[in-house]
Amino acid sequence: MASKHPDAPELSPTVVIGAGLIGASIGCALTGAGVDVRLRDRYRSHAVVAAGIGAGSVGTPLATTVRLVVVAVPPAVVAPTVARALSHYRNAVVTDVASVKQPVLADLEAMGTDLGRYVGSHPMAGSEFSGPLTASPRLFADRTWVIADGTGSPEAVRRVEQLIGICGARLVRLAPADHDRAVAEISHVPQIMSSLTAARLADAPPEDLRLAGQGVRDVTRIAGSDPGLWRQIITGNRAEITTQLRAIRDDLDRVIDGLDDVRTVGELIARGRAGAAALPGKHGRRSDKALERVVVEIPDAPGALARLFVDIMGQGVNVEDLSIEHGQDREVGYLSIAVEAEQAQDLRETMDAKGWSLRE
Amino acid sequence: MASKHPDAPELSPTVVIGAGLIGASIGCALTGAGVDVRLRDRYRSHAVVAAGIGAGSVGTPLATTVRLVVVAVPPAVVAPTVARALSHYRNAVVTDVASVKQPVLADLEAMGTDLGRYVGSHPMAGSEFSGPLTASPRLFADRTWVIADGTGSPEAVRRVEQLIGICGARLVRLAPADHDRAVAEISHVPQIMSSLTAARLADAPPEDLRLAGQGVRDVTRIAGSDPGLWRQIITGNRAEITTQLRAIRDDLDRVIDGLDDVRTVGELIARGRAGAAALPGKHGRRSDKALERVVVEIPDAPGALARLFVDIMGQGVNVEDLSIEHGQDREVGYLSIAVEAEQAQDLRETMDAKGWSLRE
**What is the ipTM metric for this complex?**
0.73
Q: Tell me the per-residue pLDDT of A329-351, one tens digit each, with 9 for 90 and over.
A: 445 667 778 787 888 888 888 88
**Closest alpha carbon within chain B to A233:** B262
Domains of chain A are 8-174 (3.40.50.720), 179-257 (1.10.3660.10), 291-353 (3.30.70.260)
Around Cβ B243, how many Cβ atoms within 10 Å? 12
> What gap in Å lies between CA A279 and CA A291, rounded to an integer?
16
Confidence (pLDDT) at A23: 95
Of A359, A347, A355, A360, nearest to A304 (Cα)? A355
Q: Which residues of B touch A180 (CB under 8 A)?
A: none
Confidence (pLDDT) at B131: 60
Q: Tell me the per-residue pLDDT of A79-94, one tens digit each, with 9 for 90 and over.
A: 999 999 999 999 999 9
Å from B122 to nearest chain A CA?
A: 11
pLDDT, mean over chain A = 86
What is the widest separation between alpha-carbon atoms in chain A? 73
* Residues 6+ positions from B110 with CB-CB distance below 8 Å: none
Backbone φ, ψ for residue B178 (5° rounding): -65, -40
Is the Cβ pair A317, B332 closer than 8 Å?
A: no
Confidence (pLDDT) at A300: 56
Q: How many residues does chain A have?
A: 360
Q: Does A262 touch chain B (CB under 8 A)?
A: yes
Is the Cβ pair B279, A218 closer than 8 Å?
A: no
Is the Cβ pair A316, B302 closer than 8 Å?
A: yes
Å from A200 to nearest chain B CA?
A: 7
The alpha-helical segments, DSSP class H, found in chain A are: 8-11, 21-32, 44-52, 78-88, 102-110, 154-167, 176-183, 189-203, 214-220, 227-236, 238-257, 262-278, 304-315, 341-353
**Number of Cα atoms under 13 Å in the Cβ half of residue A82:** 33
Backbone φ, ψ for residue A337 (5° rounding): -110, 120
Is the Cβ pair B221, A215 closer than 8 Å?
A: yes
Confidence (pLDDT) at A325: 61
* Stretch 283-312 of chain B: residues touching chain A, C-beta under 8 Å: 283-284, 297, 300-303, 305-310, 312
Å from A62 to nearest chain B CA?
A: 33
On the question of pLDDT at A266 being above 70, the answer is yes
* CA B307 centroid distance within chain: 32
* Residue A299 pLDDT class (50, 70, 90 cuts): low
Å from B357 to nearest chain A CA?
A: 10
Is the Cβ pair B196, A248 closer than 8 Å?
A: yes
Is the Cβ pair A221, B215 closer than 8 Å?
A: yes
Is the Cβ pair B215, A208 closer than 8 Å?
A: no
**Closest alpha carbon within chain A to B208:** A182
* Residue B287 pLDDT class (50, 70, 90 cuts): very low
> What gap in Å lies between CA A29 and CA A6, rounded to an integer?
14
Compute the average pLDDT of residues A193-206.
95
Considering only the beta carbons, identify the residue of A222, A225, A283 that sits closest to B326.
Answer: A283
Q: Which residues of A touch B192 (CB under 8 A)?
A: 255, 268
Is the Cβ pair B209, A186 closer than 8 Å?
A: yes
Is the Cβ pair B215, A191 closer than 8 Å?
A: yes
Compute the average pLDDT of residues B225-236.
84
Q: Tell me the per-residue pLDDT of B306-316, one tens digit each, with 9 for 90 and over.
A: 677 667 655 66
Q: Tell me the per-residue pLDDT of B247-273, one tens digit each, with 9 for 90 and over.
A: 999 999 999 999 888 788 999 999 999
